[in-house]
Amino acid sequence: MNEIKINSYSKINLALNILDKRKDGYHEVETIIQSINLADKVIITEEREGIKIKCNHPQVPVDSQSLAYKSAEKMLKKYGIERGVKIEIDKKIPLASGMAGGSANSATILVGINKLFSLNLSNEVLREIGEELGTDVPFCIQNGTALAYQRGEKITLLPPINPPLWIVVINPGFKISTQWAYNNLDLEKVKGRKDNTKAMLTVLKEGKSQEIAKNLFNSFEELVIKKFPEIEKVKDRLINEGVLGALMSGSGPTVFGIAQNKKEALQIYKKLKPEYKLIWIVHSI
């Protein structure tokens, strides 16, 4: 029985600028995305026929309308594969958390089926398929560090951050709908803000965590914090314990803090662990 196991990595947004609303109803964005080593595990097994999705998290959809199912179905149909797959997802990334967990799973399924059936498709081809499934999927095919633009589906890969960033990640334990965040965003207000993407691209080349932390930015943050003040409390706790900078990722509610180094990150993690159920120490990959 052919089987493949792959890590499905989450992401954070080091900078996220919402620029305008497009004619197609989506928003024009400019964001610098970074993979971190908090990951789901995905096992894909070749079957005689059909698509079966299993997940250890009861709230993850596994029916034919789920993103995981559609991702597998697209690959099998597009390349005329007359076999089936069973996909098992061991969920570690929180749901609706601004960390692209669903997109990461979709990307992993594309990559996994490509390997399982020896299709030998390039990452570029897989990213094109991913664009049809979700805006974060193309990035999650490749992982690493990238500038994403247009709807977020077009990416320019950047050199890895060296040395890697050490980061404390906290999820407050509730979900936020990305659609809600976009629908309630005051575009005129956020468009008038300073665009720090160029500054972030410059400091990323230098790889200094202090400078990267100074340039963190997220257009969604003010809106989301106003409705969910717990997010600001998490940010304040991280900053009070010594992170160089803290930011909400994506449309939230996950917050991350960049530490000076691994030792500092571990100290902050140990101090805050009794207060938060969903807390991790991670690094950029």
CA torsion angle 154 11 258 38 (round to 10): -160
77 is catalytic: no
The per-residue pLDDT for range 137-166, each reduced to its tens digit, is: 999 999 999 999 998 888 999 999 999 999
Query: What residue spans define the domains of the chain?
Result: 3-158, 166-283
Helices (H), 174-274: 178-184, 187-191, 197-206, 209-214, 221-227, 230-240, 262-272
24 is catalytic: no
What integer best gives the mean pLDDT of the chain?
A: 94
Annotated active-site residue in 40, 91, 136, 235 = 136
Alpha carbons 107 and 164: distance in angstroms, whole number? 23
The one-letter amino acid code at 17 reads: N
pTM of structure? 0.94
Q: How confident is the model at residue 41 (pLDDT cuts 50, 70, 90)?
A: very high
Q: Which fold has domain 3-158?
A: Ribosomal Protein S5; domain 2 (3.30.230)
Alpha carbons 123 and 274: distance in angstroms, whole number? 41
The per-residue pLDDT for range 2-16, each reduced to its tens digit, is: 999 999 999 999 999
Annotated active-site residue in 11, 74, 91, 235 = 11
Q: How confident is the model at residue 220 (pLDDT cuts 50, 70, 90)?
A: very high
Q: Which fold has domain 166-283?
A: Alpha-Beta Plaits (3.30.70)
